[in-house]
Structure 1
Amino acid sequence: MGIRYVIAGESQCDLFAETCLVADYLAQKLPSFCYDRIEKPVTEWMPWLQKINQKNKWHHTRSPIVWKELLMAGSKPFYIGSASEFLEYCYSYYKFDVYFSPLRFEHLTDNFLQFQKKIKQETIALDRLDNTILVENSTENKVTICISGAGNPLALFIISGLLDVKQNIYKIYIYDEECSQTSMEFIEHECNYVGTEYLGKLVKYVDKIGVALTSSDLLIILDYVPFQSTYSIGQWLYKNKKLMENIAIKINATATPKLYVVLPNLGPACYNATIIANLVTKINKNNVVVVTSDIGLEMAPVAAEIAEVPLRNMFCPPVWGFVGINHLADIRTTIHRYDAFHPYERYVKVKNSSLCIGYLTPEMRTMEYLMFFDETLWKKVGDRKRKDTERRLNFHKAVALLNLVRIWLFDPNPNYIVSLGIQCNGSFGLTFSGVFSQPACLLNGEWRPASHYMMPRDPQVKISYLQEIAKIVMTLKKTDLQQVVAYTPCTLECCDAAVGHVGCAMDRRGSGTARGGGGDTIGSRASDFAR
């Protein structure tokens, strides 16, 4: 069992400094020698010494005091004495003999204090160096995220969700070419106010996206051109194409080769992602994905209500298609967890038994048998989407994007299946050379089609049709599919009212020029028009 020596004394005591010097020398020469040093200010020394005397029933009166104890918690201290007793103890136990000259050690106290101060400074410097190394190592394990189009209201909810996993995030850069600097600085201030417990600015506004892309691991693109009634389909796609080409140029110029690019379901999302994937040369085009599971999240509560299935036991419906142009959310291949009951034989034979009557086995089933005869799903989903449109914001898009970021960057698991717009590789019979929404899984850091998943079973929409539409859309020109002019068909009541107004007007004209016969002729023409 090891022994530890404890040396306590006043900070201005020469004998205390001499005793510590001897103990330090012995600790350097003898590997088994261990000591602790307790230094008390002059004003605190006597009260502290009185407490030690009362606790251990000692009668020590001056500085320093030395005792020994075993190297274990709660061990009993054994009194040695003052400096002279400690030196005698060292001589008898370690055969250590030393002579202290008064002149030589006249300023030992000051020197010893300076020595201890220097040791403390060196310890602080080493701690700072260790902390710097730890910060650098922790920074290497953290990710940097850049959000383009941060003026979109959806960006605030995305940033708020990212701050929940701030221990894994080094920096969030926000950028928007269309918004003013004042607006972006306001967003920066508000977001940093949420995370006030962190040192430095976690969210930072940049006026040039190239500065952020040089160190970013993930780029979230919220830029898109919304459709307007004055646009033709070709013109709308053309404007989005030009916007994506500009972003692709910036990616090729400044981004790192390992950059991930994510687009939420805004505008012609799969079309925009296809444009970027075809133009980028510096990054892997398989790292350009579109979050499409928000479409399934929209309909999941309605489907759970109709099928009377707890929403917590239901998985997100798979989403197929060229999202932003067309899509299919297949409720029939949606999986839910079902607890199947298997009764024992005595359940049938014995009535009112107090014993266990059976057991439950969890199973994974599709919802096809629950939704086969229902025709109200899409009407209810449409009504809910109409209400969401009135609220102007769709939180499903932010939730779906944050789930993807968590799975992709922070909690990768190849068993997860997520609906994503990704590059087709022939799985599910999809040969489209672009981004197409389908069930996907994460393999070696890249999203690939989950080829083992079921094909859609919707009786009305086939994915081959969705694929053909995607191919056609990619070939559209600016002047194709001209503006759709709203047309309201005329009803019979409208025709009768219009004929009445025309007849009255013509009668008035006839009465002013030729009465009698002229009026009859006009009236007959009005009747002919009515017929």
Structure 2
Amino acid sequence: MAKLVLAGKANCPYYAKAELLADYLQANLPHFRVHKITQHPDKWEQWLRNICETNGWKHSRSPIIWRELLDRGGKGLLLGGVNDFLEYAQHYYGVTLMTLSDEMLAIAEENLQAHIEIEKEEEEIKSLIKPLQIWITSASVPICYQLIPLLANGEVFGMTTEISIHLLDTDQFKEVLCGIVMEAEDMAFPLLRSISEHTEIDKAFIQADVVIVLDDVLLNCEVQPLEYYVREVSEICQVYAHLIEKNAKSEVRVISSGKTFVNLKAMMMMTYGPSIKPENVIAVATSLESAAKATLARKLNMNAAGVKDVIVWGMLHAHAVATVLRYWYHGSPPGEIVSVGVLTAGQFCVPEGIVFSMPARFQNGNWEVMTELEINEMTQEVLDRLAHDLIQEKLVALKEIREMLPYGADKITSKEYLQQGICCEQCSFKSRTFRTVS
């Protein structure tokens, strides 16, 4: 079977002539098929350059015609322009097309008007479909570049859900953001409605459905104490939380990720944004979880894909968010444990009111801490230490204390946490399910 691809400018008379010949051949030859690609005149030059670069062709005018090698695979075989197509039809099929110039021009005009109408209809259809608005902060970091294809390929939000991605960073990274936008546009993901860069903080998070916080601080405790960086993170989150409350949708979901203070960022978002639903803010531990699975797989001499139900407790340094987002929207696999940082409610004897990584499951847009798991005394001791550190971070961030105290220090730092106790010997908490709107 012969299959030809015919592409050209909508208002090109030579494209119109080639189209007439292709239609005639397809109507009269049982094994001849043609696929047409009509481009708006304003988009033609760029489209032609892209298709030629992809296939290693040299062609400079409308139309361009190639044969797809259905029986052999690989890239198509370039025929050339309209004259090459006429010779091809004459040589292989004995068909000659005689068309007057006026008729070609009339057909070209009809093609252009039809193409404009089709584009208009497509735009009207798109206007009825509201894409998910995804905002990513500190978007110049490498993780953002890696994250965009995962969000745009349909695996996270579904193969029928379009998304718009907004990249937010400071003005000094504007050039980097523009580069990321250009590369994402070149990938031409069908579900990526738009991608844009933003450097004006006051306009951040407009109509956001999902906010991914990737901000990190460069720790150098030889120059500044750890408390300095905790307060710096707190100030950033205070700005973000206010803008999310002001500009984002009421059911916005916020994911804290990055390399530093992941739990603290989630905690401060809830603290400074009281209208942001606590159940809609989580911190992600998937990168540590993956590293742990890989280590166990090497020890057990097996594939990492076969290692399940690894739990990351306490503090996180997360990189990937796509998996957790997919589970949040579509549910986690039955029986699989996922480690996420959530607002504590006393589970596992961890004090209430901090963001702490715990085992959870996702179902129907909700997450649920798996409190039925049993832990031993050694694990409980580790949880106590982690909880202490996170409480200290929170108190410093809220300026209740100036310096973080080591675990076991006698000095009282907060009546609230003293009354709650870092650990209770006998505790039995029912699992708590938070419901969110999908």
Same fold (TM over 0.5): yes
Distance 1:164 1:129, change over 3 A: closer
Q: Does 1:160 align with 2:149?
A: yes
**Contact 1:319 1:437 (C-alpha < 8 Å) held by counterparts:** yes
Q: Aligned residue for 1:318?
A: 311
CA distance in 2 between partners of 1:179 and 1:405 (Å): 29
Q: Aligned residue for 1:445?
A: 365
**Contact 2:284 2:316 (C-alpha < 8 Å) held by counterparts:** no
**Contact 1:318 1:419 (C-alpha < 8 Å) held by counterparts:** yes
Could you report, residue by residue, the CA deviation over 1:217-262 in whole angstroms, capped at 9, with x for unpaired residues? Answer: 1101111222113111211211111111111121122111011111
Alignment map for 1:130-529 (pairs within 5 Å): 134-136=125-127, 139-140=129-130, 142-165=131-154, 167=159, 168-177=161-170, 179-193=172-186, 195-196=187-188, 198=190, 202-209=194-201, 211=203, 213-229=205-221, 230-323=223-316, 397-398=318-319, 400-409=320-329, 411-413=330-332, 415=334, 416-455=336-375, 458=378, 461-476=381-396, 477=399, 479-480=402-403
Length, aligned pairs only: 291
Distance 1:480 1:202, change over 3 A: same
CA distance in 2 between partners of 1:282 and 1:190 (Å): 36
Q: CA deviation at 1:432?
A: 2.5
CA distance in 2 between partners of 1:201 and 1:233 (Å): 42
CA distance in 2 between partners of 1:179 and 1:453 (Å): 47
Classify the secondary structure of the residue corresponding to 1:462: helix
Q: Which amino acid aligns with 1:223?
A: D
CA distance in 2 between partners of 1:442 and 1:232 (Å): 38
CA distance in 1 between partners of 2:314 and 2:384 (Å): 9
Could you report, residue by residue, the CA deviation over 1:420-461 in whole angstroms, capped at 9, with x for unpaired residues? Answer: 000112222223302111012225523231223343675684
Could you report, residue by residue, the CA deviation over 1:473-498 in whole angstroms, capped at 9, with x for unpaired residues? Answer: 3223574259xxxxxxxxxxxxxxxx
Alignment map for 1:63-142 (pairs within 5 Å): 134-136=125-127, 139-140=129-130, 142=131
**Contact 1:172 1:203 (C-alpha < 8 Å) held by counterparts:** yes
Distance 1:439 1:258, change over 3 A: same
Distance 1:459 1:429, change over 3 A: closer
CA distance in 1 between partners of 2:341 and 2:212 (Å): 14
Q: Which amino acid aligns with 1:162?
A: L
CA distance in 2 between partners of 1:460 and 1:430 (Å): 9
Q: Which amino acid aligns with 1:403?
A: T
Distance 1:160 1:442, change over 3 A: same
TM-score, length-normalised on structure 2? 0.58
Q: Which amino acid aligns with 1:187?
A: I
Q: CA deviation at 1:308?
A: 3.0
Q: Aligned residue for 1:517?
A: none
Q: Which amino acid aligns with 1:266?
A: K
Which of these two proteins has the greater Rg computed from alpha carbons?
A: 1
Q: CA deviation at 1:164?
A: 2.1
Q: CA deviation at 1:181?
A: 2.3
Gaps of 5+ in 2: 1-19, 29-113, 406-438
Q: Which amino acid aligns with 2:350?
A: L
CA distance in 1 between partners of 2:189 and 2:220 (Å): 43
Distance 1:131 1:311, change over 3 A: same
**Contact 1:147 1:174 (C-alpha < 8 Å) held by counterparts:** yes
Alignment RMSD:
3.5
TM-score, length-normalised on structure 1? 0.49
Q: CA deviation at 1:291?
A: 0.4
Classify the secondary structure of the residue corresponding to 2:153: helix
Q: Aligned residue for 1:12?
A: none
Distance 1:316 1:164, change over 3 A: farther
Q: Which amino acid aligns with 1:225?
A: V
